[in-house]
Structure 1
């Protein structure tokens, strides 16, 4: 199921999938209408003029192609805006927008439906029952297109805007964090010892996008070994960096073929949001860093991103919603937990560095890290305190006005236990 979820998520990012499905359904509806000619329905329904159906279909065919072309142009403009105003890494989320894909699918599907239906009507394909059903379906399709167009206009006005892009990135990151929080070891057992055994290397260069833990468990059970992962989703895989180690060979057994272990790692050219929560944090930090650049000079967006990061780490600190069975379902696959320090580095380093000279950003960052330190999670507290001290050091070096620096120091408000040694008076 996890593998299926990953594949379906990949298909959602392809613009041609939904239009193709809708086109096939549209063609099917044209031929399904013919089936009603052989039923008693033809004696019960009123007779519909062939000219009226043909006129309605002609209007739809003439307008849908224009609207579909216009929608594609608008979507391309929104995609370009998202890449330019936010970050190119957000492109896949904007492409996967449901409202835009549904609108494009509806327009293209209505166009194909009208063309095929006109051809059938012109060739006297229908009798009374089929023509009535075709008229009803045409009216429903026309109503659906109007509703979709009105809804899509409201959506396209926001698509590609900074706020909409941030919402999509935060949502995708939150979903990835929730899945990793509920399964911190990807349904495997926790890797506690230093990895040892026979190393398994990648055969291609790219980012680990997905790991099929169930396949690794099945292979390990078959060969009576253990698989210790060293590369999590988001890791840059190279032929000289082990993806995993295979340990637990019997002394009298020959080493098994480790090719299935490599095949369990889905490696691609780009990082994906689905199984890599750190990537979402990186993208949010990139958006904030771009907003803090001298060319953009938009500290408000950086402050907005800081607030979103607080929400995401608060989500991580909530109790897991997994089942009550504490026994790991894949006990022969050992998986390391994601590092909280690495997550904080991804999220806050860029903002602390590029916003050190802006007092409003520095103050907001100190308050956000203070909030995270008080959530009650020990790992989050340690990482937050470390980055509070680091951010204060950056601000101390970047702020030239003593009053601004005093404001940031007041916002930091370290307790005696939290104050880093480097900041001691």
Structure 2
């Protein structure tokens, strides 16, 4: 089993730890305990005759102040973070929770406060038991001042971040950043370093053992298994696909038409399946989350068209980036020749991004106009060298969803002038 844990899968599993609040605090706690005892090493060096003498009472006072205050601050930080997480889930969408939890500034602040508390308790206990000599006391004093400085810096930085954490604009920015990174990764490897699909869905279908979302596909493991079995594998489910025992994960076929391999456990295990979608390998998920944020803002209970307009602008930036070429040096070669992987369809991405917004904002003239202008802008994007044909798909998708949104507006708007303003924003015919 360990042999199947290739580099790509290990990176995926390690990235999941960023969503665990206990990882960084635990690491810092261990580091703080080690730092408290490292000071003892100075007692066995010449520093014992060089460093100035510091009374143990002075260091005990500093450590006591830190021990009593850090626990309170750590508790306050946890309370504020939980409140921010609840706010992000209620005002934006629960699907954005993982990004808010993974906020580095908040995790670093919590880790610093808890680590400073553990450091002060361990160091205070050692000092009261006369564990250190003169050099050790001095090094411990330097470490304590350093920790104090770090705590003050992190506290000020954390207050600034916690004031924004969980706010709708901050959540949108986090989702945009995660989606942008997923776009970059997929553009560098459109077929996940496999080859483009060459065959129809023929061969032996391979099914999942459980129900859930494809979170990650270990193409390297599949390629090595296929090479050993002398077969080819056509992947049928990209990351983000909801799969069930009746939906094939992939198709296995032999070039000579004779399939001898009958043990597909390794192939099935190469598909990481979980209860939720993740942003890392799933560019479409970010578009869905942004669409959900806008759709919720357009609901009668919230009635915040400004947020929907902001999301539409975010989607325009993301699709514009998707259309831009990738540096040839950054493109990953299709080195796994035994695995066929389909590319993401632009039409599916437009459906994820704009359908819910067009439906929820059909009766709002300001949202409908911004949506139409965005689709017109996307349809007018030009091809770049090495990216020929991508804009043709985007132009067709933009025109189709523009017509669909216009139909929704016609049915939803009761004032003719509003509909005419939306129709005027659609300039495909005049542009052609």
What TM-score do you get using the length of structure 2 for normalisation? 0.94
Are 2:425 and 1:411 aligned?
A: yes
What is the CA-CA distance between 1:6 and the residue it aligns to?
Answer: 1.2
2:329 partner SS: coil
Give 1:401's aligned residue.
Answer: 415
Give 2:189's aligned residue.
Answer: 183
Give 1:392's aligned residue.
Answer: 406
Are 2:163 and 1:157 aligned?
A: yes
| Gaps in structure 1 of 5+ consecutive residues | 419-425
- For residues 201-248 of structure 1, give each alpha carbon's deviation from its aligned partner in whole angstroms, at most 9, with x where no partner exists: 000110000000111111111111111000000011100100001111
Give 1:308's aligned residue.
Answer: 314
Give runs of aligned pairs for residues 158-307 of structure 1, distance below 5 A: 158-248=164-254, 250=256, 254-307=260-313
Distance 2:53 2:288 in 1: 63
CA contact (8 A) 2:78 2:110 kept: yes
- For residues 19-58 of structure 1, give each alpha carbon's deviation from its aligned partner in whole angstroms, at most 9, with x where no partner exists: 0000000001011111111011111110111111111000
**Between Structure 1 and Structure 2, how many residues are aligned?**
418
What is the CA-CA distance between 1:266 and the residue it aligns to?
Answer: 0.5
Give 1:63's aligned residue.
Answer: 69
2:195 partner SS: strand
What is the CA-CA distance between 1:4 and the residue it aligns to?
Answer: 2.8
Instruction: Note closer, same or farther for the CA distance 1:325–1:81 as it changes in structure 2 (3 Å cut).
Output: closer
CA contact (8 A) 2:372 2:402 kept: yes
1:330 partner SS: coil
| Gaps in structure 2 of 5+ consecutive residues | 1-6, 383-390
1:231 partner SS: coil
- For residues 96-139 of structure 1, give each alpha carbon's deviation from its aligned partner in whole angstroms, at most 9, with x where no partner exists: 00110000000000000000001111111111111111100010
Give runs of aligned pairs for residues 63-102 of structure 1, distance below 5 A: 63-102=69-108
What TM-score do you get using the length of structure 1 for normalisation? 0.96
2:338 partner SS: strand
- For residues 64-104 of structure 1, give each alpha carbon's deviation from its aligned partner in whole angstroms, at most 9, with x where no partner exists: 00000000000000001001100111111000001100000
Distance 1:310 1:26 in 2: 46
Distance 1:266 1:220 in 2: 18
2:59 partner SS: helix
- For residues 183-217 of structure 1, give each alpha carbon's deviation from its aligned partner in whole angstroms, at most 9, with x where no partner exists: 11011101133121111100011000000011111
- Aligned Cα RMSD in Å? 1.4
Instruction: Note closer, same or farther for the CA distance 1:339–1:251 as it changes in structure 2 (3 Å cut).
Output: closer
Aligned match for 2:44, one of 38, 43, 47: 38
